Amino acid sequence: MIPTWISVVGVVATVLSPFLALGGVMLGAYLTRKSDRELDTWRHREETMRMVRWAVEQILAGDEVGTDAGVVTLRSLMRSELLQPEDYDLVAALTAAVAIDRVGEAAYAELADANTEVVEEGSRRWLRRRP
């Protein structure tokens, strides 16, 4: 005859195994989603920096058409959902450093939106999100 404790362990294992499998599947799905979000953030940041690099190169090249294209790119990027909040200050500072000297105050002011202000400290100027 089978001991009672073995029967109890067998029943408990039979009942719990689907729940343990479900827990494993849920944990795997959560980790996969988290990884996908991190990868998406990294891809957005990489694309943002690629666009910033290209725009700055165009502006610094000195060609009028390239300068216009670079400014339009920076302007679009500053208003884009592609630009993440963590990167906004960096892109704003680069935009200010490059654009204000190359295209002047008027075009530089157009880069800002309603939630952005131009900060001046001595000879330095940059864009900052309003609190």
How is the chain split into domains, by residue range?
A: 4-129
Q: Note whether 117 and 111 are within 8 A (CB).
A: no
Burial class (CB in 10 A: 0-12, 13-18, 19+), 92: buried
Are 116 and 127 in contact, with CB atoms under 8 Å apart? yes
Burial 31-56 (b: 16+ CB within 10 A, else e): eeeeeeeeeeeeebeeebeebbeebb
* Beta bridge partners of residue 128, listed in sequence order: 117
Task: Give the mean pLDDT of 27-50.
Answer: 93
Q: Which two tokens stand for residue 74?
A: 């920076």
97-129 residue pLDDT tens: 776 666 565 555 555 555 666 666 666 666 666
pLDDT, tens digit, for every residue of 39-98? 998 998 999 999 999 998 888 887 888 888 888 888 888 888 888 888 888 888 887 777
In this prediction, residue 71 carries a pLDDT of 81
pLDDT at residue 101, as a whole number? 67
| pLDDT value of residue 5 | 87
Query: Tokens in use for 30?
Result: 């959560």
